[in-house]
Structure 1
Amino acid sequence: MAFTIAFFGTQPYDESSFSLKNADFGFDIKYFKGHLNKNNAILTQGVDAVCIFVNDTADADIIHIMAQNGVKLLALRCAGYNNVDLDAAIAAGIKVVRVPAYSPYAVAEHTVALMLSLNRKIPRATWRTRDGNFSLHGLLGFDMHGKTAGIIGTGKIAKILIQILRGFGMNILAYDLYPDHNFAREHQVVYTSLDELYHSSDIISLHCPLTEQTKYLINDYSISKMKAGVMIINTGRGQLIHTNALIEGLKNKKVGYAGLDVYEEEGDYFYEDKSDRIMDDDVLARLLSFNNVIVTSHQAFFTQEALGNIATTTLQNIKDFIEKKPLANEVIK
């Protein structure tokens, strides 16, 4: 019998890309639109592996149910794994694999798109001209050339972003627990402390993983250290920013712009069409009310190339597990 995989949180583009790539693997894939949770974990009965995305839940209770149902592998079709209880998975004997990099170019380029859209007020300008208003009042931007970008976390995505920003002629400050000094020398990056990065950066972009140490890294205290009018960009994880602190910073003009592709309570909204309902998340509604804030729906990864890479890597991870090969992308605590 074919190896059976249950996919949760499936969108039409997931089914299309995975079905195309699965022609080379021959797995029996069952697609479920709902996010994995306690109410639908029963659907993991009779499957060998479960595949989830960022807004699915794999806490201890759900992992226990999966283990009872005979699930042997949890495959994440994303890089982040903060939604998985690794201790519970280890105890249950369930291996966890992920897709560590699917298109760092996609995320880096979307990060720059947010910066340019905020700086040059592209959404507002577009709305105006469609309404026949060709006034430039209120659309003033700034030259990015010569400004300082503070990059927190210097992994693959951040390194591509840095090269793009260096092409604009920007100065780069960076912070990372494990700095890459060779890269820094080659691309004229200055590693510094978080305090100095906050103090000196015109634009701050977040590219670090979400851990207990980085949760709410951007808060009232850190914002108080930043330049007045700073631009904050987050294409990493929602809980890197304390949203209420960001709103206060926007209200008192300490934060001049915010570009968010992630939101700490995004699970109930992102990837779904909620346009026919009243928004009951007051914090998200407040964020969306600012004309100097752009929120996108966790779409930074969303390119044709990235979807293909996600499908190929995910299915190869599963194939390696079946064939008892070393799991290059296993998540190890």
Structure 2
Amino acid sequence: MAKKILVLATSFLDTLISHPPEEGKARKMFEELVMNSNGEIEVIYRCERKPEEALKVAEFEGVTAVIADLEKYTREFLSKVGIKSGGSLRLISRYGIGYDSVDIKSATEFGVIVTNCPGCNALPTAEWAHSTILDIAGRRILHYKTASRGKPKEGPSRIDISGKTLGVIGTGTIGKLVVNLMKGYQMKVIAYDPYPDMNWARENNVEYISVEELCQKADIITLHAASNNTIIGEKEIRLMKPTAVLVNCARGILVDYKSVYSAVKEGKIWGYGIDEIWTDKSLPIDDMNIIVSPHVGSDTDKGKIGMQLMSTQAVIDFITGNTPRYVVNKEVL
């Protein structure tokens, strides 16, 4: 029976905007793999599947590897499809950097390797954070609404960026790229990271300090932490300046959205930007300096190509008997 590779990543087969030379390369890599397998490998594309829908065991019958979007791989599901529990699944190749949607402990227990794509979409995400900072500082959406209705400016105009203090929480690849993109504004840069890169800090004149001190001193705070915990809550927001710009183009959980909503509404900070859908209808953001987007920060041609190629290479490496480069749960090997 052929080994099945299931592709669930929603943008894997997208037609790209600028048609870069790498467009379609990942699919061609799979076509070559299938062609050279003597009928032993089959690739199934279900890119139209909605990630919010719960996975069904029947969908994974005979599936050896999956290129996963943001659908949830729970303990209950993995206990039925994992190779060590009588199923066939041996690899989850995450289409992106984060792997919060996968129960890593259970994947390991049931013999499923989990990989991700570090750095695959870092620059597009950094660009989106940069853009969001400018939009919040400039109250861009609010000014658009008044101007598009034929009305003059209402409320304050915008705040300055140049010469201000930038606070970066999380100085991995994306955080460093944001610092680089913001250099033209001649800003002082302060940062927090549990694992500070002191060489990079010296080379870029960045000072590492605590989260609390950063919240007190920064004019603009941007989060790029690889954490599953809330970093900015009511206590941290109370430390911020009333002109503070807070941007989270990483993970929603990093900021307590109810606390930041109240802070913006009450004028305790200037505004908030997040690259996630705002789902709490009890907290309407109309006419507030809160900007949301449907998780599109990495959704550029460059970002898609990176995710396609890295997630595909992980599958091919595994199927051909090699160890994928970016294994999250190395203890399963």
Q: What's the TM-score, normalizing by structure 1?
A: 0.86
Q: Shift in Å at residue 15 of structure 1?
A: 2.4
Cα pair 1:260 1:296 within 8 Å, conserved: yes
Match of 2:69 in 1: 53
1:233 and 2:247 matched:
yes
Q: CA deviation at 1:3?
A: 4.1
Change (3 A) 1:140 1:241: same
Residue 43 of structure 1: aligned partner: 59
Residue 26 of structure 2: aligned partner: 21
Question: Which residue among 288, 309, 314 is the counterpart of 2:311?
Answer: 314
Instruction: Say whether residues 1:207 and 2:224 are aligned partners.
Output: yes
Give the Cα separation in 2 of the matches to 1:284 and 1:205. Answer: 25
Number of residue-to-residue matches in the alignment? 309
Query: Counterpart of 2:271?
Result: 257
Q: Give ranges in structure 2 of 5+ residues lacking alignment.
A: 16-22, 35-42
Secondary structure of the residue that 1:25 maps to in structure 2?
helix
Matched-pair contact (CA < 8 Å) for 2:142–2:287: no
Matches within 5 A, 1:71-86: 71-86=89-104
Write the distance in 1 (CA, Å) between the matches of 2:284 and 2:321.
47
Assess, with a 3 A threshold, how the Cα gap between structure 1 residues 112 and 129 changes in structure 2: closer, same or farther: same
Query: In structure 2, do the counterparts of structure 1 residues 140 and 37 end up closer, same or farther at CA, with 3 Å as the change threshold?
Result: closer
RMSD: 2.1
How far off its partner does 1:150 sit? Answer: 0.8
**Superposition map of 1:37-186 within 5 A:** 38=54, 40-54=56-70, 56-67=71-82, 68-133=86-151, 135-138=152-155, 140-186=157-203
Of residues 321, 327, 330 in structure 2, which corresponds to 1:330? 327
Alpha-carbon spacing, 1:285–1:3, altered in 2? closer, same or farther (3 Å):
farther
Report the Cα offset of residue 24 of structure 1: 2.2
Q: Deviations over 1:208-257 (max 9, x none)?
A: 0123xxx1211111111222232110011111111111122123221220
For residues 202 and 145 of structure 2, the distance between their equivalents in structure 1, rounded to whole angstroms, comes to 43
SS in 2 for 1:199: helix
Cα distance per residue 1:102-127 (max 9 Å; x no partner): 12110111001111111122223333
Match of 2:300 in 1: 303
Q: Matched residues in 1 for 2:287 and 2:179: separation?
A: 28
Q: CA deviation at 1:40?
A: 2.5
Moved more, 229-238 or 242-251: 242-251
Rate the CA distance shift 1:88–1:244 in 2: closer, same or farther, 3 A.
same
CA contact (8 A) 1:262 1:298 kept: yes
Following the alignment from structure 1 to structure 2, what is the Cα–Cα distance between the partners of residues 302 and 35? 16
User: What amino acid is the match of 1:123?
Assistant: I
Which range moves more in the overlay, 152-161 or 245-254?
245-254
SS at match of 1:253: coil
Percent identity of the aligned residues?
Answer: 26
Alpha-carbon distance in structure 1 between the residues aligned to 2:230 and 2:287: 21
More displaced stretch, 102-111 vs 22-31: 22-31
Structure 2 distance, partners of 1:288, 1:314, is 36
Displacement after TM superposition at 1:190 (Å):
0.9
2 CA distance for matches of 1:38 and 1:143? Answer: 45
Name the amino acid aligned to 1:29.
I
**Matched residues in 1 for 2:26 and 2:55: separation?**
30
CA distance in 2, matches of 1:290, 1:248: 14
Is the partner of 1:126 in helix, strand or coil? Answer: helix
Cα displacement (A) at 1:129: 3.4
Report the counterpart of residue 18 of structure 2 in structure 1: none
Q: Is the 8 A contact 2:230 2:254 kept in 1?
A: yes
Shift in alpha-carbon separation, 1:104–1:38, aligned structure 2, 3 A: closer
The alpha-carbon deviation at position 160 of structure 1 amounts to 0.8
Alpha-carbon contact 1:120-1:139 (below 8 Å) kept: no
Could you say if the C-alpha distance between residues 137 and 245 of structure 1 is closer, same or farther in structure 2, counting changes exceeding 3 Å? closer
- Residues 5 and 290 of structure 1: CA distance in aligned 2, closer, same or farther (over 3 Å): farther
Question: C-alpha separation between the residues in 2 aligned to 1:16 and 1:247?
Answer: 35
Name the CA shift for 1:235/1:325 in 2 (closer, same or farther; >3 Å): same
Contact 1:287 1:293 in 2 (8 A): no
Amino acid at match of 1:60: R
- Answer yes or no: is the 8 Å Cα contact 1:151–1:206 preserved in 2: yes
**More displaced 10-residue stretch of structure 1: 307-316 or 67-76:** 67-76
Q: Match of 2:38? A: none
Structure 1 position 63, deviation (Å): 0.9
Structure 2 CA distance, aligned partners of 1:292 and 1:38? 34
